Structure 1
Amino acid sequence: MPLSVALTVLCDNLGVTYIAENPVHHTKMKHLEVDLHFVRNQVRNGLVRVSHIHSTDQVVDPLTKPLSKLAFQRMLPNLGVVSSHLT
């Protein structure tokens, strides 16, 4: 079933965001891997939208890297994980 709304991919790298949306950069980025070209085609077809998010707001960070206790606790509600003894 086709999507009625484009899927949004949040990225904390502004350069990647610009490259994914702007094909003008293609000639300078020939060495990039196939997955970027795939994403760019999906953006062009309106199936995916790449949007910038500040690195401190990356929801996946608690699952992928060590964080300070404060940063970890701040991100838990964004993941839907909330415990009264953590706050």
Structure 2
Amino acid sequence: MSVVSQFIQASYEKHLEAVNRILRYLKNTPGKGLMFRKTSRKTIEAYTDSDWAGSVVDRKSTFGYCTFVWGNLVTWKSKKQSIVARSSAEAEYRAMSLGICEEIWLQKVLSDFYQECEIPLKLFCDNKAAISIANNPVQHDRTKHVEIDRHFIKERLDSGSICIPYIPSSQQVADVLTKGLLRPHFDLCVSKLGLIDIYVPT
């Protein structure tokens, strides 16, 4: 929806086809919703992703993250980045920084309710270059433009409050927020997000 909404003022036939496709999907899935399950896991996990230069209009990237508290999806966001990223690692790195901020905020909300969570918080990323930059304390010319995010993430890694494991792109659930996916991968991501259809017989 966020992509097609950018073309409201000057829409073409292909934009209307995309809107019709979205409406057909919504019409055929009236019972889709989040299922919150009670679990023994006391974790906060985030999945972050970015599509590098995905906008054909201005070549800005779209980032997305989804966060799970105790195994249940509680927050998600997808938004076009405000500046043009010069590499896929930069676009992913900015998304990682925002995902970590969301995890820290959720941890503070839980502590306000006297709820503990396991440390370190996990942030799953499918970009090995971005993970390498996060773990490498050496300043490179390539990373000067993301220096503030680099220090923020490195500080959290050094304190042990977060960890950033690699996840293959095929298992990255945040893809559904940043990219157009083929139906099998889309359905897999939706099921991993915890969305179920209440009208499907069990």
Q: TM-score range by the shorter chain?
A: 0.7 to 0.9
TM-score by length of 2: 0.37
Alpha-carbon shift at residue 44 of structure 1 (Å): 0.7
Corresponding residue of 2:175: 61
- If you compute each CA radius of gyration, which structure gives the higher value, 1 or 2? 2
Corresponding residue of 1:12: 126
User: Aligned equivalents of 2:193 and 2:132: distance in 1?
Assistant: 27
Matches within 5 A, 1:8-47: 8-24=122-138, 26-28=139-141, 29-47=143-161
Q: Which moved more, 1:57-66 or 1:38-47?
A: 57-66
Corresponding residue of 2:54: none
- Report the structure, 1 or 2, having the larger helix content: 1
Identity of aligned residues (%): 33
Taking a change above 3 Å as real, the CA distance of residues 71 and 27 of structure 1, as seen in their structure-2 partners, is: closer
In the alignment, structure 1 residue 72 sits paired with structure 2 residue 182:
no
Contact between 1:59 and 1:75, CA under 8 Å: does it hold in 2? Answer: yes
User: Aligned equivalents of 1:37 and 1:3: distance in 2?
Assistant: 24
SS of aligned partner of 1:52: coil
- Report the structure, 1 or 2, having the larger strand content: 2
Alpha-carbon shift at residue 33 of structure 1 (Å): 3.6
Alpha-carbon shift at residue 82 of structure 1 (Å): 2.4
TM-score by length of 1: 0.78
Q: CA RMSD in A?
A: 2.2
Alpha-carbon shift at residue 47 of structure 1 (Å): 1.0
Q: Which moved more, 1:32-41 or 1:7-16?
A: 32-41
Taking a change above 3 Å as real, the CA distance of residues 53 and 77 of structure 1, as seen in their structure-2 partners, is: same
User: Aligned equivalents of 1:80 and 1:30: distance in 2?
Assistant: 38
Deviation beyond 6 Å, 4+ runs, structure 1: none
**C-alpha distance after superposition, 1:52-79 (max 9, x if no partner):** 1111211112233211111111112210
User: Aligned equivalents of 1:50 and 1:8: distance in 2?
Assistant: 6
| Aligned mate of 1:51, from 165, 168, 173 | 165
SS of aligned partner of 1:51: coil
